[in-house]
Structure 1
Amino acid sequence: MIYKNSPIPIYYQLEELIKGLIEKGDLKPGDALPPEREYAEKYQISRMTVRQAFTDLVNEGYLFRQQGKGTFVAERKIEQGLQGLTSFTEDMKSRGLKPGNKLIKFEIIPADSQIAGHLKIAEYGPVYEISRIRLADDVPMALETNYISANLIKGLTEGIVNKSLYAYIEGQLNLRIDSASQTIESSIASQSEANFLNISKGDPVLLIQRNTYLLDGTPLELVKSVYRADRYKFMIKMKR
């Protein structure tokens, strides 16, 4: 219901009405919304007001537009907190989603100067290069590449990597993962990234680099990830 005499702006009321339908499941991901004209006629409001509501919901990630086709309900973004250090597998399980991997590359390579610097090892020292597509309920979420010293973490196999790397490091090797530093920046998908993530070239992505350390300060890994910006968002709580 839209209340025209309410102090709450009409466009905001319409936004909340549509959000409610999405959250209750009456509108599901992929569903097409009626044209702006139908909303305007139904609630006796201007099409400009409807357009503003749609635009706000697109910006918030509830809807998406396809040129010449209309406006549709978007897949809800997975929210990850930035306060704690967890693995992708742990994140997905905590949200009731089935984590998965599609291994693209698993090999030992000589560390170049950049990788060696991050891992505090000698240049050309052996490192695992592990590239995986990270899945949630079988949907690609991220393209992730890990670099780990082969002299530090021994015995890695494709089978271990396809389960949980952190579980192996802590549970089998009895090493304590302590902290990490992480940077996040926006970018657009290259053609190869788009192919792996089932998106289009030029779509927005999040570039994330993580340096992870053991309890004694030893660098454990350098991780470079490309996350789908349409399916993932990061959240942090701040206290004054």
Structure 2
Amino acid sequence: MSTSILRDSSISLYEQIAHQLLEEIQRGDYEPSGKLPSEAQLGERFGVSRVTVRLAVGKLSDDGVVERKQGKGTFVAAKQVRHGLDALRSFHEALLLQGLQPSMQVLSHTLQPVPEALRGLFEEADDCLLLERLHFVDDEPIALGRSHLPAALASVAWAEVEHQPIYSILESITGLAVTRADLAIRAQEADKNLASALHVKRGAALLVMERTSYFADGRSCDRTTFFIRPERYAFVLSGVFKSNPSS
């Protein structure tokens, strides 16, 4: 990377550094993690004091280009994750397809009676597995998923498959492919538990995606509700639609 700055310029050193870092960010030099070098590293690179570096990074922060994370460093401001609605893929796969480094953490897994509201989905079943997993991007929580799954998945060693998508686990255990999913999207305020898990304020608006998935024989195999931080996530539908001349 070029490190040239002009010390006799009418433009201050910190503004020159901020401009150069901005160009590098726009080129994608700090992908995929988005983490910038430390203040000490930037100071050594540009031959300036940490105070000057702090002013440059502060300008980028004020402009919304970067964000500082306590104890972790400075990162390129988070881009929205785009989840296409025109293909059948898991939440985790949608993150992977964008070159991100997602991870998951199992919060709980409990065998319980099928809730009354889901009896129409899990026909002839007395019990189902309730699984809660937290989804991360760059070690930052982006969504919490609550899944109701067939009781057969209660035998899964969840600590060993923590980072596998639900669909791949379903297919591995049952031998059946997931072929269809219905999605419903709404908004909801974060309660105390969701706010704590997702690092947002209580009452903050969340995107809620409710997914019901089916095997090829028409049996439901998954009802998952994702509670998603909206500033990090967008749902998109791509396609070309024929216009109706009479409309």
Which TM class, normalised by the smaller chain length?
0.5 to 0.7
| Cα deviation code 1:42-83 (max 9, x no counterpart) | xxxxxxxxxxxx8xxx8xxx799xxxxxxx974111111111
Which residue of 77, 92, 100 corresponds with 2:80? 77
User: Which residue identity does 1:227 align to in structure 2?
Assistant: I
Instruction: List alignment gaps of at least 5 residues for structure 1.
Output: 1-16, 37-53, 65-71
* Contact 1:176/1:214, CA 8 A, preserved across alignment: yes
Give deviations 1:129-174, integer Å, cap 9, x for gaps. Answer: 00011112322110100001215x5632313551323222224532
1:175 paired residue number? 176
Q: Distance in 1 between matches of 2:58 and 2:185?
A: 32
State which drifts further: 162-171 or 207-216. Answer: 162-171
Aligned position for 1:225: 226
In structure 1, the residue matched to 2:137 is: 136
Q: What is aligned with 1:209?
A: 210
Letter in 2 for 1:141: I
1:159 aligns to what?
159
- In 2, the alpha carbon distance for the partners of 1:163 and 1:148 equals 17
**Separation in structure 2 between the aligned mates of residue 157 and residue 26 of structure 1, nearest angstrom:** 39
Query: Who is 1:50 aligned against?
Result: none
- 2:93 pairs with 1:90: yes
CA distance in 2, matches of 1:184, 1:63: 30
| 3-state SS in 1 of match to 2:159 | helix
Equivalent in the alignment of 2:120 = 117
TM superposition score normalised by structure 1: 0.67
For the residues of structure 1 that align with 2:196 and 2:188, how far apart are their CA atoms?
A: 16
Report the alpha carbon displacement of residue 226 of structure 1 after superposing the two structures with TM.
Answer: 0.2
C-alpha distance in structure 1 between counterparts of 2:216 and 2:194, whole Å: 33
2:133, 2:146 within 8 Å by CA — same for their partners in 1? yes
Letter in 1 for 2:82: E
% same residue:
23
- Aligned mates of 2:97, 2:203 — CA distance in 1: 31
Where in structure 2 are the equivalents of 1:3-82 lying within 5 Å? 23-24=26-27, 32-33=58-59, 74-82=77-85
CA 1:233–1:29 in structure 2 vs 1: closer, same or farther (change >3 Å)?
Answer: farther
Residue identity in the other structure for 2:106: L
1:204·1:230 contact (CA, 8 Å) conserved in 2? Answer: no
Letter in 2 for 1:174: G
Q: Secondary structure at the match of 2:119?
A: helix
SS of match in other structure, 1:159: coil
Does the 8 A contact of 1:214 with 1:220 survive in 2? yes
Distance 1:201 1:29, change over 3 A: farther
- The SS at the match of 1:119 is coil
* In structure 2, C-alpha distance between the alignment counterparts of 1:112 and 1:190, rounded to whole Å: 21
Aligned to 1:9: none
Alpha-carbon RMSD across the aligned residues, in angstroms, is 3.1
Aligned CA distance change for structure 1 residues 121 and 114 (closer, same or farther; 3 Å): farther
Query: For 1:235 and 1:29, how far apart are their aligned partners in 2?
Result: 27
Q: For residue 84 of structure 1, give the secondary structure of its aligned residue in structure 2.
A: coil
